[in-house]
Amino acid sequence: MVSNSNLGKLYLVGTPIGNLEDITLRAIRTLKEVDLIAAEDTRRTGKLLKHLQIETPQISYHEHNHDSRIQDMIAYWQQEKNIALVTDAGMPSISDPGVKLVQSAIALDITVIPIPGGTAVISALAASGMPTNRFAFEGFLPQKDSDRTSRLELLRSETRTIVLYEAPHRIVKTLTDLASVMGAEREIVLARELTKIYEEFWRGSIGEAIAMYAERQPKGEYTLVLKGAAEGDLITSEAELKNELQQLLDRGMTRSQASSHLAKLTSMSRREIYQLDL
């Protein structure tokens, strides 16, 4: 679909994830030239704009005011005015409520233009030492225990490198859950405070990470990079398959969900697994 040239445009502008020097010349120019900046937190973005000597007006945009704000933005676009979307840190719409605005703009035939910037997921992955040719980005895990366990069960057999985000007050619980489902010996890299003064990369096993935080208070925002499951971890016997199926059911998965998950770990189809007698 060709975008409507009689309407304004939406620019997705990447902003620094910590170090204010990590912003591109194109991003600065765009923020100066657009008619309006839609910011997740206008106070936080205001500090960045002041640092860059940019006086473009702002409007707040976050997950709780999308329905009301989209009408304001439509009015701007209809006047052929351009809007820049920024998030608190990083690239808008990546593990970010800005994705709803992007979807709305596309539905309205608004041209969406990305202005690339830094992201924690790519920065952490690049410096982790883990395989980078194939990876799965999962953002933040669900907070509800049952949903969290179900997600981790699905990821247990993932052979690609896995990248997660986590807050400091939940990092120990997340590590404990990871050890329970994936094994304490699984390799992990903890990237903390990326691009900031106290940036740190810690490398070891999940079990070692848990032991470390038994003696140390977690601080800062975390990006976790996990080694993918080995291809040799696939299930080969029917007895083992039945045991795994029962464990997944006991943890709250439906039979359909469990069968789909286990089909990735064996030569049997989802239908065949679903019909197994336990």
Per-residue confidence (pLDDT) for residue 232, from 0 to 100: 55
Q: Looking at domain 121-232, which CATH architecture does it have?
A: 2-Layer Sandwich (3.30)
Question: What are the strands of the beta sheet with 222-226, ordered from one edge?
Answer: 135-140, 161-166, 222-226, 187-192, 200-205
Q: What is the pLDDT along the chain (278 residues), one digit of tens a residue?
A: 456 678 999 999 999 999 999 999 999 999 999 999 999 999 999 999 999 999 999 999 998 998 889 999 999 999 999 999 999 999 999 988 899 999 999 999 999 999 999 999 999 999 999 999 999 999 999 999 989 988 998 898 889 999 999 999 999 999 999 999 888 999 999 999 999 999 999 999 999 999 999 999 999 999 999 999 876 566 667 787 888 888 888 888 889 888 888 877 776 778 888 888 88
d(CA 146, CA 252): 7
Token pair 């910011």: residue: 39
How far, in Å, CA of 86 to CA of 94, rounded? 11
Please check whether the domain covering 9-118 is classified as CATH 3.40.1010.10. yes
Question: What does the DSSP 8-state code read for residue 15?
Answer: B
Q: What is the pLDDT of residue 2?
A: 52
Secondary structure percentages of the chain, helix, strand, coil, to 5:
40, 20, 40
The closest of 140, 95, 87 to 117, measured between CA atoms, is: 87
Nearest of 239, 194, 201, 246 to residue 220 by alpha carbon? 194
* Residue 244: predicted pLDDT: 83
Taking the C-alpha atoms of residue 183 and residue 206, their distance in angstroms, rounded to an integer, is: 8
According to the model, what pLDDT value does residue 236 have? 60
Write out the two tokens for 70: 């989209």
What are the boundaries of each domain within the chain?
9-118, 121-232, 234-274
Query: In this structure, which amino acid lies at residue 233?
Result: D
Query: Would you state the pLDDT for residue 233?
Result: 60
